[in-house]
RNA sequence: GCCGAAGUGGCGGAACUGGUAGACGCGCGGGACUCAAAAUCCCGUUCUCCUCGGAGAGUGAGGGUUCGAUUCCCUCCUUCGGCACCA
């Protein structure tokens, strides 16, 4: 009889649910804890697609494996339900985001249930529910009180016709992606979290089992650099321009300064200047470019303007002109010293006819080896550099820095590229920021006892230049918590990354009305042992979560210093080489495959496609292979081929399979696990399995085909769930064999193979190999000059002539 | 441009620390079963020669180290991912 996945899977899912098999007892210390976490999904209208399955199914297999290794596995699942798509959908259709969110979550819950995973969906956790965002607001207040939340004006990309802020990626060539009207820079007062205070602490990755690549990306993002701030006095005023550089060795070649068009000095320097008109024109032009365009490599010329003023190069005493240019941004000091040894400065100087001066060449000779065509940016020997001439520039670097510090011209400084985290959004579908503005008391945080600040219902979500929450008079008008006089609420909402930066703590104590999380449980369960999600979150979510966690740690609210001990990124599933998206119309739904082949087959096929971290292009061609494997496995256990004489040989294979699959699982190479199980089945088809061997085989399979394994566990007469049994161990003695297969090579080419006893010595092994006909043939072709013997592997001869 | 990863049969992919390249699966070819087909089972399947024992070539391209290289080194090409013209 053939295996019927449909009825069997339904049966076991119901049993698991009714027995509460996978409910982790968070308070129990009976078994070691294992927090197995997958990044929670956004409840989109696209529902669950193959990419989600590719992510969730192997993580579930991992969790089941850990459970069978004796761990108390906690594997929750919730929803990141605030965000822009629901709001945009509401603008289009008028359906309230809360409603679409609920519909999408219900649908996705059904789909996740169909996987038949251990995911605990009963926690019913979503970031848009008041009992969750109450605590997001509470975290805001914690940061506020620690001085880590502040307001400042920041430039944003603004579209006048859409009346809204645009992300850099929504700006296309200076125009709004949606309505094509011109985008302008506009200053808005916004809330920030001071993540920059934690730059140094965030650079500590000790004890984190994370992909090297992700750590490298975060380090790059934080961007620590050791340099020096140098003051350039103005030629005709008692003021100076401070520039930051990591290359003080080039100070003698500095022939001009470039400051950001937004630099506060620009207005002062321009006062009554004949250059004002041109500078304003260039400023206006640059203001149309977003940061990405301003820094874009291709298709964007360097533009700038002379400010009509000069500074003094403190090293040479020379008068040098000051410019503004698009490529200098108002970060750090907003000013750079420019010279001939930087390609960007070099090009700018050529365009605006600014004289250049060289101070480095490969051999110290006074010329640019590239003949003035491109900048010489490599290292070399200094010349025209005063007392430093003749030194290697890298060696002179710190000496010049010392010299600048001694003369009080410069001061060494560590810079970080990391900017503070802009958390306010002028959007409806997000957690309200718990701040009240009072005419007499000023900016007042909402008292913790008044949380949550409930998200109001509004009629119109259309952006009008300010948050739609401003429409609700009931929401906006409150009494000041301090003086009880009429006051107004902050109407901006929080970035959804704030909501997702602590959800793993809430899972541990979901819906507790009195606390964000229980410290006791957090100390038992944190950090998350295994965290799996897409690599696109390397710099945002994963950095923000670490930041918030470190703040909570310093406040004594959690013991762990890091939220995620081990991190793995799953690969991306594409369709015909393209990312799946509704707009491209290439979203593949898992439902029809699950319906046709069952969850076990579908999940194993996804795992069989290739290494988990690699991803791949979706193609349903091979799924029949996995379906055949499942049928065979079922058949072997249920209708055994009786052949007792051969069954003994199977012992070795079974133990080999345990070892192979175990090694592959720990590396998350699930494709190898499935392949090894297929090999076992193929051999077992011929030779049969004993009852004991069947018992082991079922347990190896269980994490990957949980329904089938449970069914077979029951059929073979076992009591209870296979997931309460332990994953099998192998006996190393069983893997040993008396003989080894040697490859016999002549001049590096394989000429024969030879089965030899493992205890054989070099001399007799070589004798045996020499007797082989095909080896003799090639040995005759010249003089034997070398014999190589690698135990249990190779016998090689080198012949010359 | 810089940083990172990858490139292996018709396809997805395997190969531990330099030691028999192509496991496993799909597809394809042949056979068994069948009135027939599906399903299932068995055999074969990198390419080119061949006297059917084998021989030669072969892991993006070209060099190098080595008895031996998918694996190590150099140069180059292509694809994917990341980025910030950060001074």
Q: Which residue is nearest to nucleotide B82 (CA to C1')?
A: A217
Q: Which residue is nearest to nucleotide B55 (CA to C1')?
A: A751
The pair of structure tokens assigned to A687 is 């030779």
* Closest residue by Cα to residue A426 from A365, A495, A331: A495
Say whether pLDDT at A173 is over 70: no
The SS3 of residue A283 is helix
Q: Which of residues 723-762 of A touch strand B (CB under 7 A)?
A: 741, 743, 745, 747-751, 753
Q: Quick check: A625 CB within 7 A of strand B?
A: yes
Render pLDDT for A608-633 as a digit per residue (tens, 0 to 9).
999 999 888 898 889 999 999 999 99
pLDDT in tens, A96-117: 899 999 999 999 999 999 999 9
Does A189 score more than 80 pLDDT? yes
Q: Say what the ipTM of the complex is.
A: 0.93
Give dist(CA A377, CA A473) in Å, integer. 60
Q: Give the pLDDT of residue A299.
A: 45
Residue with the bigger pLDDT between A575 and A710: it is A710
Region of A747 (left: φ > 0; alpha: ψ -120 to 50; beta: rest) is left
Q: What is the pLDDT of residues A690-699, one digit of tens each?
A: 889 999 999 9
pLDDT surpasses 90 at A257 = yes
Range scoring the smallest mean pLDDT among A68-72, A480-484, A636-640: A636-640
For residue A533, what are the β-bridge partners?
A569
* Residue A164's pLDDT band (cuts 50, 70, 90): confident
Taking the CA of residue A749 and the C1' sugar atom of nucleotide B63, their distance in angstroms comes to 21
**pLDDT category, A326, cuts 50, 70, 90?**
confident
- Over residues A308-331, the mean pLDDT reads 90
Closest residue to B20 (CA to C1') is: A743
Structure tokens at A66: 């850990």
Residue A294: pLDDT band with limits 50, 70, 90: low
Distance A744 CA to B57 C1' (A): 20
Q: Please check the confidence at residue A643 and state whether its pLDDT lies above 70.
A: no
For A108, residues 6+ apart whose C-beta sits below 8 A from its C-beta are A41, A43, A47, A48, A79
Q: How far apart are CA A352 and CA A655, in angstroms?
A: 75
Q: How far apart are CA A537 and CA A569, in angstroms?
A: 9
- Which nucleotide's C1' atom has the smallest distance to the CA of A798? B67
Going by pLDDT thresholds of 50, 70 and 90, the confidence category of residue A290 is low
Residue A78 has pLDDT above 60, yes or no: yes
Protein CA at A214 to nucleotide C1' at B81, angstroms: 12
Covered bases, chain B (protein CB within 7 Å): 1, 3-5, 11-15, 19-21, 23-27, 39-42, 53-57, 67-69, 81-87
What are the structure tokens assigned to A211, written together?
């992909």
Average pLDDT of the residues in A58-67:
96
Note the CA–C1' distance, A298 to B1, in angstroms.
10
pLDDT tens by residue, A385-419: 888 998 888 888 889 999 999 999 999 988 888 88
**Tens-place pLDDT, residues A10-38:** 999 999 999 988 889 999 999 999 999 99
Does the structure show a pLDDT above 50 at A476? yes
Residue A297: the pLDDT is: 43
Protein CA A408 to sugar C1' B4 (Å): 41
Q: What pLDDT band is residue A170 in, cutting at 50, 70 and 90? A: low
Protein A748 CA to nucleic acid B62 C1', in Å? Answer: 22
Average pLDDT, chain A: 88
Q: Which residues pair with A153 in a beta bridge?
A: A189
Per-residue burial over A616-631, b if 16 or more Cβ lie within 10 Å, else e, is eebeeeebeebbebbb
Question: pLDDT by residue (tens digit) across A761-793?
Answer: 889 989 988 888 888 888 888 888 889 998 888
A384 by DSSP, 3-state: which? coil
In chain A, pLDDT over 70 holds for what percent of residues? 96
d(CA A163, CA A188): 13
Mean pLDDT computed over A121-137: 94
Q: What is the pLDDT of residues A672-722, one digit of tens each?
A: 999 999 999 999 988 888 889 999 999 999 999 999 999 999 999 999 999
Query: Which pLDDT band holds residue A640 (cuts at 50, 70, 90)?
Result: low
Contact criterion met (CB below 8 Å) for A703 and A722: no
DSSP alpha helix (H) spans, A146-211: 199-202
pLDDT one-digit tens code per residue, A481-523: 999 999 999 999 999 999 999 999 999 998 899 999 999 999 9
Give the H/E segment covering residue A436. strand A435-438
CB A352 within 8 A of CB A306: yes
Radius of gyration of chain A (CA): 34
Phi, psi of A642 (to 5 degrees): -80, 115
A295-333 burial, b for 16+ CB within 10 Å, e for fewer? eeeeeeebbbbbbebbbbbbbbebebbbbbbbbbeeebb
Of A residues 258-287, those with CB within 7 angstroms of nucleic strand B are 260
Answer whether any strand B atom is within 7 A of the Cβ of A332: yes
Q: Which of A32-36, A204-208, A232-236, A415-419 has the highest mean pLDDT?
A: A32-36
Residues 655-684 of A with CB under 7 A from strand B: 669, 671-672, 674-675, 678-679, 682
The whole-number pLDDT of residue A47 equals 82
Higher pLDDT, A375 or A568: A568
Residue A783: its H or E element: strand A783-790
Please tell me the pTM assigned to this model: 0.91
A302 CA: nearest nucleotide by C1': B85
Whether A51 has a pLDDT exceeding 50, the answer reads yes
Say yes or no to pLDDT of A456 above 80.
yes
pLDDT at A595: 93
Strand B closer than 7 A to residue A342 Cβ: yes
Specify the DSSP element, H or E, that contains A530.
Answer: strand A530-533
Over residues A150-164, mean pLDDT: 80
Please report the pLDDT score of residue A501 as a whole number: 94
């Amino acid at each position: 009889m053939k295996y019927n996945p449909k009825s069997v899977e339904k049966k076991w899912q119901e049993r698991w649910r009714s027995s509460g098999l996978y409910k982790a007892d968070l308070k129990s210390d009976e078994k070691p804890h294992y927090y197995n976490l997958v990044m929670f999904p956004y409840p989109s209208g696209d529902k669950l697609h193959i990419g989600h399955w590719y992510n969730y199914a192997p993580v579930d297999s991992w969790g089941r494996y850990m459970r069978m290794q004796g761990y108390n596995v906690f594997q929750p699942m919730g929803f990141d339900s605030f965000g822009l798509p629901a709001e945009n959908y509401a603008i289009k259709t008028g359906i309230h985001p809360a409603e679409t969110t609920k519909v999408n979550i219900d649908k996705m819950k059904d789909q996740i249930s169909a996987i038949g995973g251990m995911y605990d969906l009963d926690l019913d956790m979503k970031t848009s529910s008041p009992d969750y965002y109450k605590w997001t607001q509470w975290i805001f207040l914690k940061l506020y009180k620690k001085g880590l939340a502040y307001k400042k004006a920041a430039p944003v990309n603004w579209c006048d016709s859409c009346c809204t802020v645009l992300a850099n990626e929504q700006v296309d060539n200076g125009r709004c992606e949606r309505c094509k009207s011109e985008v302008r820079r506009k200053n808005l007062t916004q809330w920030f979290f001071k993540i920059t205070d934690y730059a140094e602490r965030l650079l500590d990755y000790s004890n984190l089992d994370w992909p090297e690549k992700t750590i490298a990306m975060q380090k790059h993002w934080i961007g620590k650099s050791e340099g020096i701030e140098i003051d350039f006095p103005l030629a005709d005023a008692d003021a100076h321009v401070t520039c930051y550089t990591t290359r003080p060795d080039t100070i003698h070649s500095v022939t001009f300064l470039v400051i950001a068009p937004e630099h506060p000095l620009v207005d002062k320097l321009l006062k009554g200047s004949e250059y004002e008109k041109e500078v304003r024109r260039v400023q206006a032009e640059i203001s149309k470019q977003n940061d990405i365009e301003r820094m874009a490599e291709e298709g964007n010329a360097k533009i700038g303007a002379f400010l009509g003023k000069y500074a003094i190069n403190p090293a040479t005493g020379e008068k040098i002109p000051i410019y503004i240019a698009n490529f200098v941004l108002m970060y750090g000091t907003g000013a750079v010293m420019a010279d001939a040894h930087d390609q960007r400065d070099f090009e700018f100087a050529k365009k605006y006819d600014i004289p250049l001066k060289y101070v480095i060449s490969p051999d110290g000779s006074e010329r640019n080896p590239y003949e003035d065509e491109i900048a010489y940016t490599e290292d070399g020997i200094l010349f025209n550099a005063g007392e430093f001439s003749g030194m290697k520039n890298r060696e002179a670097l710190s000496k010049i820095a010392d010299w600048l510090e001694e003369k009080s011209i410069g001061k060494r400084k560590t810079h970080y590229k990391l900017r503070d985290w802009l958390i306010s959004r002028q959007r409806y579908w997000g957690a309200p920021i718990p701040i009240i503005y009072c005419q007499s008391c000023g900016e007042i945080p909402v008292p913790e006892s008044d949380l949550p600040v409930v998200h109001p219902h509004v009629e119109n979500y259309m952006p009008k230049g300010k948050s739609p929450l401003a429409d609700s008079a009931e929401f906006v008008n409150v009494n000041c918590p301090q003086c009880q006089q009429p006051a107004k609420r902050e109407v901006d909402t929080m970035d959804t990354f704030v909501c997702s930066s602590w959800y793993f703590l809430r899972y541990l104590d979901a819906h507790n009305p009195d606390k964000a999380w229980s410290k006791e449980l957090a100390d038992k369960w944190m950090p998350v042992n295994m965290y799996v999600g897409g690599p696109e979150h390397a710099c945002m979510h994963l950095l923000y979560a670490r930041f918030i966690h470190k703040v909570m740690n310093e406040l004594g609210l959690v013991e762990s210093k890091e939220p995620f001990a081990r991190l793995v990124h799953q690969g991306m599933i594409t369709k015909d080489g393209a990312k799946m998206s509704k707009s491209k119309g290439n979203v593949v739904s898992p439902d029809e495959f699950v319906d046709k082949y069952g969850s076990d087959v579908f999940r194993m096929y996804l795992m069989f496609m290739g290494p988990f971290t690699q991803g791949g292009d979706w193609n349903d061609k091979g799924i029949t292979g996995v379906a055949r494997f499942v049928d065979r496995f079922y058949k072997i256990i249920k209708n055994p081929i009786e052949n007792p004489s051969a069954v003994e040989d199977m012992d070795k294979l079974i133990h080999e399979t345990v070892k192979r699959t175990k090694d592959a699982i720990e590396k998350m190479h699930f494709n190898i696990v499935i392949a090894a199980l297929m090999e076992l089945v193929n051999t077992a088809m011929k030779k049969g399995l004993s009852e004991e061997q069947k018992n082991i085989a079922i347990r190896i399979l269980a994490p990957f085909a949980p329904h089938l394994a449970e069914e077979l566990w029951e059929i073979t007469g076992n009591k209870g769930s296979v997931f309460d049994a332990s994953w099998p161990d192998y006996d190393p003695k069983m893997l040993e064999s008396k003989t080894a297969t040697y490859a016999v090579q002549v001049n590096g080419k394989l000429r024969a193979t030879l089965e030899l006893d493992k205890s054989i010595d070099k001399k007799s092994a070589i004798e045996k190999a020499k007797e082989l006909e095909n080896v003799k043939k090639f040995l005759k072709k010249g003089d034997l000059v070398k014999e190589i013997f690698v135990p249990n592997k190779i016998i090689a001869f080198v012949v010359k002539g």
